[in-house]
Structure formats: structure tokens, C-alpha cells
Structure 1
Amino acid sequence: MERREQQGLPIRYADRGDGPALVLLHGFMGSADYWERVVPLLEGHFRCIVPDLLGHGASEAPEGPYTIERLADGVFRLLDELKIEQAVLLGHSMGGYTALSFAERYPERLSAFGLIHSTPLPDDEAGREKRTAVAERVLREGVRPFVEQSAPNWFAPDNAKRMTAELDRVLEIGFGTNPRGAAGAALAMRERPDRKRVIRDSKLPVLLIAGGEDGIAPPEKAFAAENPRTTKRVIEGAGHMSLFEAPQELARQIASFAESL
């Protein structure tokens, strides 16, 4: 996906299509390219703004640790630079944590927000220890061993076996992550707070999408909070990566939600 660089911003982004603004945030070890199969299905009706979050893709990867708030502030600055007053903000996995931080502090800049294969829950103690181990490992070994080991688990088991081209693409994108950025982001996720109340207290429409076979953010975690304007959808047969496992269905759900606002 072609990226542009805004003068003075630490992040790069893609800007595709016309219509209401739809901001799509990728997950850990991803980039704007995570959305490369979804954006073509949306850009005929929406202006899709797709950044490489701090530390990922072609964006800057300064020394960490980062915070989820810092990632969200980068998105806020991007909307300011693009003079976008309001947008629908959707985040995949780590991007969902970022969307929640944005919605907590800048709700006036949103017409709606949502989580895709993500959760408002914080890490438990075991999860926090794993984040620390990941940060230490990628700084010690580089990102390749971690991505090779982890990426198959991001797909539903059957999909990991048969979707070899899709898995190879996720691996390729992951290998491009700067180890500093990966470590900084892992520690940011480790420190994120419980944000169930952001969803519960919000007056905005919320979209929650889960994969029926997601072992990382299963439906019970993805749907841990809701408000009266929440839309909940399960993509059956998908794991944590419906962006590659079921892009047409994911795009359909996003479009249906955004068009209903």
C-alpha cells in the first residue's frame, strides 16, 4: 500500500478513496499493509486513512518504551494535519488498544469507534510477563524468530495450514518491523489499563468484531464491554487475522456499520 509522509509527523500513512473518513489501525508487528485486502473494498465509499503506527512499517521507531497514549496521540496529530474533524476509528488488536485510548481522550473527534480482534481488558500478570519477554527477545534476536513462531497462531488452525500465501504475507510484513519499535510497543501493551468503561460510558456507536476461532482475543474478551449503541459481530472460521482470512466479510461488516451512522 502506497504510503505518504506528512511534513513533521513521525508516522507515515496511506490515504485512499473519497467519502466519510475511516481510520484503520493495524496490530502488533503489522503496518498499513495489514489492510491491503480490505481497503480496496471500502475506498469506493469511504476515505480510508491507514497509518503505520509508531515503531512499525515505514514510521519512525525511536527508543522505547512507548505508551498506548503516545500511539494514539500520533493518530490525533495525523487527523489534525489532514484537517479531518471527525472520523470512524477502528483498530485491529494493538490498534484497538490505541483506538480506545483515542476515544477516551478525544471523543469529540470521532463519530464512532471500534475494536477488531481486540479487547478493552488489560493483560493479566502472565500476559505482562510475556510482553516483557517479547521485548527482550526481539532486541536480542531481532523480530524474525518471534514472527515465525507466532504468526501461524494468529490464524485459525485450518487457515494456517491452507492459507499459505496469506500467512507468507503476514510474515513478510512482520519481518519489516524495527526491533526497537516492536520492543517499545510490546511494553506499551503491557502497561495499558482496563478500558471497559471507555466503551460502557461512551455516547458513540461502537463496533466490536471477533473471530470465531481467535485464540488471542476470543469473543468473550472482545465483547467484555458494550454500550447501548454497540454492534457485535463474530466472523466464523476466522482467527485473529480476518484482514487476511476473511477480508470481504470484514469489509462488509465495517461498511454496514459505517453506513448506518
Structure 2
Amino acid sequence: MLQHQRAGSGRTIVLIHGLLGSHDIFSRVVPLLADEYDVVTLDLPGHGGSEVPADVATMPDLAREIAQTLDAIGVQDPVVVGHSWGGYAVCEIIASQPQALQAAAIIYSQPYADPPEKQQGRTDAIKRFETEPWDDVVRALFPAYFADYDPPEMFEEAIAITKQASVDGARFALTTIRDRADHSGTILQRPEIPVLFVSGTDDLSMPEIDLEGDHITKAETRSSHMGPMTVPDELARILKDWIASL
């Protein structure tokens, strides 16, 4: 079972972090949601307080592990929010574990598969984590996730959070990201599951979302990829307004 944290009461919202993150990525968002909701944050395998289980190796395995954890702690029909890698996991939950959620917010993330050049970049990053000092690798990777106007201390905080992850965790995350399926069609084919996409105006790491449907909502924050850290108030307001509309 994945490590988890819980705060507040009411309708349940599950927050899932991204690559080399942990529940701490949402430290500014949780208090803004816990005044109205039961907020659960998870640590994905090899990140935060969670180990990489021996039987978890693929994105479908990760979706199953998340669903089993939520079932074990008594969470039913939650709104599941995934940031970056967590958003990819939410797409897989919609595809293979739809009973585990009622609605999905995919934030600073997207439903498409990696093109070949991105896949090669993931493979190269795995090799770097296996052979180079951790700090060198994350300091080379993470500038792409921040905008020039983001406070430098936010960048340093993100770097510190990455140290809660392990090389095994980085390998697992990058492998599942690299090998994930394209779930854009799945989302369109499941109109019973409302989906919110939140993008950042200055998030250069994600493509534009071109999906349209009555069950699909789109919103934007003036931010980089790290909106949960840099614009928590704006993100929390968007989430609350969307949930209230469901």
C-alpha cells in the first residue's frame, strides 16, 4: 500500500504528485482544500515514504496500486487530481481502474503518449540517474519546470523534495512515463467521467490539449509547470469551482 496523508472532511479529493515529487508538492494546496474537503495525498512508488513494490513495473500496475490503496483506506468515488506524472497515472486509472474515481483533474499534464524523441529523453535520464550524482541530474532537469519569474526559493524547495525519492523511484517513474499508452481516446469514450485539464501559461513541458467534449473542462493558470507550488490559491479556486459544478 502506498503511503498517504489525510486532512479535512467532506467529499474526498485525492492529490497525486509528479516525477521526483511527494505529498509535499501540495503543501500549499492542501490547507486551501481541507476547509471543505477530505484531502488525501499519496506518495507514489519510490517517492516520499513509499517503496517500489516488486509487482509494480508499468503504468497499469501503478493505477492498480493507487486503486488498491484508496480501497484499503476506505475512499470511494473520489475526485482524483494528478500533477504531471500523476496526471499520466490518472489517465491510466480512467482506462483500467475507472471504478476508483468519480471525476478526474489532470493538471500540468496531458493524455497523449510520448513521441520517440521524448521516449529517448526518458531513457537518457534513467541512465543519468544511474551513473551521475543526484543533485547534478535534478538541477539539469528541473529548470524546464519553472518560469523566469518563479521565486528562486521555489526551485530550491523542489530540489529538496526530490531527495525524498530514490534512484529506483526515478527509474520506475521515467519508465512508466516513457512507456505509457495514449489515453486521449479513452477519455473521449468515457463521458460519464468528468475531466478537468489545468495548464500553465508558461509551462513549456506540456503540449496544448485538443480534446473537446461536454464532460471535458479546461482552465489555465499564469504559471509554469509547478503550479501546485507557485500558484496554489489560483489552482485551489479552479478545483473548487469545477467540483462545485459537478
- Considering the TM-score relative to the shorter chain, is it more than 0.5? yes
Can you list the C-alpha shifts for 1:161-214, whole angstroms capped at 9, x where unaligned?
A: xx0221111010012210111012101111101110121111211100000010
Where does structure 1 lack aligned partners over 5 or more consecutive residues? Answer: 1-8
Q: 1:245 aligns with which of 224, 230, 244?
A: 230
Q: Report the counterpart of residue 170 of structure 2 in structure 1.
A: 182
Aligned partner of 1:91 in structure 2 is 82
* CA distances 1:83-102 after superposition (whole Å, capped 9, x unpaired): 22211011000000100111
Task: Give the structure-1-normalised TM-score.
Answer: 0.90
Q: Which residue of 1 aligns with 2:211?
A: 225
- Contact kept, 8 Å, 1:21 with 1:47, in 2: the verdict is yes
Which aligned pairs between 1:138-149 and structure 2 lie closer than 5 A? Answer: 138-149=129-140
For structure 2, which runs of at least 5 residues remain unmatched after alignment? none
Distance 2:114 2:176 in 1: 11
Query: Matches of 1:157 and 1:150 in 2, distance apart?
Result: 15
* Structure 1 residues 47 and 164: CA distance shift in structure 2, 3 A: same
Between 109-118 and 41-50, the greater mean CA deviation after superposition: 109-118
Residue type of the alignment partner of 1:175: K
**Are the counterparts in 1 of residues 8 and 36 from structure 2 also a CA contact under 8 Å?**
yes
RMSD: 1.5
Distance 2:172 2:240 in 1: 33
* 1:158 match: secondary structure: coil
Alpha-carbon distance between aligned partners in 2 of 1:51 and 1:108, rounded to the nearest angstrom = 18
For residues 243 and 102 of structure 2, the distance between their equivalents in structure 1, rounded to whole angstroms, comes to: 9
Matches within 5 A, 1:21-170: 21-61=12-52, 66-159=57-150, 163-170=151-158
Match of 1:210 among 199, 211, 214: 199
Q: Distance in 2 between matches of 1:241 and 1:182?
A: 18
Please say if residues 243 and 250 of structure 1, whose CA atoms lie closer than 8 Å, have aligned partners that are also in contact: yes
Contact 1:65 1:183 in 2 (8 A): no
- Measured after TM superposition, the shift of residue 62 of structure 1 is 5.1
* 2:220 alignment counterpart: 234
| 1:110 Cα deviation from its structure 2 partner | 1.9
Indicate if the aligned counterparts of 1:90 and 1:116 stay in contact, CA closer than 8 A. Answer: yes
